[in-house]
Amino acid sequence: MRLSNLLATLAQQLGGLLNATFGNATEMIISIYALKNGMIRVVQQSLLGSILSNMLLVLGCAFFAGGLAHPDRDQVFNKASAVVNSGLLLMAVLGLMFPAVLHFTHSEAHYGKSEVSLSRFSSCIMLVAYASYLFFQLKSQRSLYSPIGEEEETTEDEEDEKEITQAEAISWLFVLTIWISILSGYLVDAIQGASESLNMPLAFISVILLPIVGNAAEHASAIMFAMKNKLDITLGVAIGSSTQISMFVIPFCVVIGWMMGEEMDLNFQLFETATLFITVLVVAFMLQEGTSNYFKGLMLILCYLIVAASFFVHVDPKSSDNK
């Protein structure tokens, strides 16, 4: 089954958003399941890992594959859309940074409570910002997000033979997402045991290994569209997914944890927050020209290897500061 049949029917922006939404549904269900079991750090690290994986590994592999498929020229995408997504990711970093700084500088007005209250307030603001972004993208400023070379791509899409209908594609996406989410519950239960048996840090499994498996579908579709020179869908899958996790899924988990009585907050610890901040800056610089090639993809992949190695030697502090 190819998602291109569905995405060719929908607008490219909506298609990338739908792909990212179904892909992130698994992360959201895993997070709720883990929150019910009080595994707050697993929630934080797995969501962080999904953002890092999408921004560096998925986007890097897509740029690399697309560059090799079109070696004679740079591929072009809508720079305006990329800039807006970069701004939202920086806003997410802002929301994660202040609770961490507040905690580690010991400058809370009410120790142990201020960072949670700030996180809940910031989460509500981030949800409003993401809802406004969706309205801005899909309704208010649709012309701003017109894909590059839209007429050529439309002609190519008309030549493609549709293997399944739009309704069938959505149904398969829904069924497979539910099934993967059920299996993910067993995966969460096995994380701690796998960490001990494999002698690997829990942070490495949560941030690196778990998101690679969870993002496999997004990884494949992003590469496929990049090789077809449909970079706007690729960015919708990779960067759009990262934006959705950082501006919707993470704040949503904070609000859900609030309802459950769990003190889920935006304090992801300094190491994780710094990693996200540097990653967002690197990707923002890569996207600012509105072009991609295989060398940019290679740099993103190598950056991800550095991040993976960093988490392999990183262990969460076993202190009272750690949640």
Q: What is the pLDDT along the chain (323 residues), one digit of tens a residue?
A: 444 444 444 455 565 566 666 667 777 877 888 888 888 888 898 899 999 999 999 999 999 999 998 888 889 888 888 888 899 999 999 999 998 888 888 777 777 678 899 999 999 999 999 989 888 877 765 555 555 554 444 444 444 455 667 677 778 777 776 776 677 667 767 776 777 777 788 888 888 888 887 777 778 888 888 998 888 888 888 888 899 999 999 999 999 999 988 888 898 888 999 999 999 999 999 998 889 999 999 999 999 999 999 999 888 764 334 44
Do residues 40 and 263 lie in contact, with contact meaning Cβ atoms separated by under 8 Å? Answer: yes
User: What pLDDT is attached to residue 28?
Assistant: 80
Do residues 236 and 12 lie in contact, with contact meaning Cβ atoms separated by under 8 Å? Answer: yes
Tokens representing residue 155 in the block: 């002609």
Question: Furthest-apart CA pair in the chain: how many Å?
Answer: 63
- Which H, E and C letters describe the chain, residue by residue? CCCHHHHHHCCHHHHHHHHHHHHHHHHHHHHHHHHHCCCHHHHHHHHHHHHHHHHHHHHHHHHHHHHHHCCCCCEECCHHHHHHHHHHHHHHHHHHHHHHHHHHCCCCCCCCCHHHHHHHHHHHHHHHHHHHHHHHHHHHCHHHHCCCCHHHHHHHHHHCCCCCCHHHHHHHHHHHHHHHHHHHHHHHHCHHHHHHHCCCCHHHHHHHHHHHHHCHHHHHHHHHHHHCCCHHHHHHHHHHHHHHHHHHHHHHHHHHHHHHCCCCCCCCCHHHHHHHHHHHHHHHHHHCCCEECHHHHHHHHHHHHHHHHHHHCCCCCCCCCCC
User: What pLDDT is attached to residue 251?
Assistant: 93
Rounded to whole angstroms, the Cα distance separating 188 from 186 reads: 5
User: What pLDDT is attached to residue 106?
Assistant: 78
User: What pLDDT is attached to residue 1?
Assistant: 41
Q: Is the pTM of this model over 0.85?
A: no
